[in-house]
Amino acid sequence: MILDEILNNKRVEVEKFKEKINIQNYIKEARETFYEDRNFKKALKPRSNGEAVAFKICSIIAELKKASPSRGIFIHDYKPEMLAKKYENSGASAISVLTDKKFFMGDPKDIIKVKNAVKLPILRKDFIIDEIQVFESKIIGADAILLILKAISKEDYLNFLSLAKELSMDVLTEISDEYELDIALESGAEIIGINNRDLTTFKTDISKTMNLAKKIAPGIIVVAESGIHKRQDIEVLIHRGINSFLIGEALVTSEDVESQIKDFLEPYPVDNYSDI
């Protein structure tokens, strides 16, 4: 399974990283690190066009990634800070930066580059399996982190969730089935991402978001992740109460990324709209 391979490699990476640093000093540095307030959660709040709430406007977390294990390299001349500026100028609400090195050809330093280039909140997307990565996320400037419930135990999840809040970072909790959803809800997760991608096969199906989101109470932000390639995909979900979308492949492979985002953000009529 691809996920098992990724996690096995991540454990090796993390242990090598910990050998290179003074852990106590590193933790102290993280606790003393402060950045301007970029509220990731607030950036994803549902919006409308105002007048009679005739339209819904979605929030897009635009993702930066050079490659994926299933599709290979997307961008050979990868300059994350330049692409991030295009995302910001086109109306994205937040930016996701994939920092896994081996499988996605990212780097934690990419967050530093993006942080200096734009003013949007930044999500660190990686396979976080150790609390040292949470501290690292704070140091490099992440405003939020992704915690994947399929990749960690419930105990580790609760620990990382608490630590992130302590360090003033939001958490996007990723779930892919009802069992993981129950854990997220019990923990008080405020932002829940539903991954439409099967992490064992890497195939996508947006109906997963439709089905699982029905069990999530109003007030919790739901993010549809993966499998969003065209405006119709968003339209299907926004009429079922989903307002936030994490989009990567459709953007990094687009010939005109700015036009692509603007098309996604064009208001959606609320005729026959019903909340989940």
Catalytic residues, by residue number, are 63, 65, 125, 174, 195, 225-226
70, HSE (Cβ side, Cα atoms, 13 Å): 13
- Tell me if residue 116 falls in helix, strand or coil: helix
What count of Cα atoms within 13 Å lies in the side-chain half-sphere of residue 55?
9
| Residue 51 DSSP symbol | G
* DSSP-based three-state secondary structure for 117: helix
* Dihedral sign of CA atoms 73, 204, 257, 190 in order: negative
Tokens standing for residue 210: 């439709």
Nearest Cα to Cα of residue 114 among 38, 211, 6, 1:
38
Closest CA to 93 of 123, 55, 56, 121: 121
Burial label, 248 (beta-carbon count in 10 A; 0-12, 13-18, 19+): buried
Bridge partners, residue 72, by sequence: 68
Amino acid at 109: K
Alpha-carbon radius of gyration of the chain = 18
Which candidate, 112, 126, 113, places its Cα nearest to that of 172? 126
Q: Which two tokens stand for residue 173?
A: 């909790």
Q: Output DSSP code: residue 217.
A: P
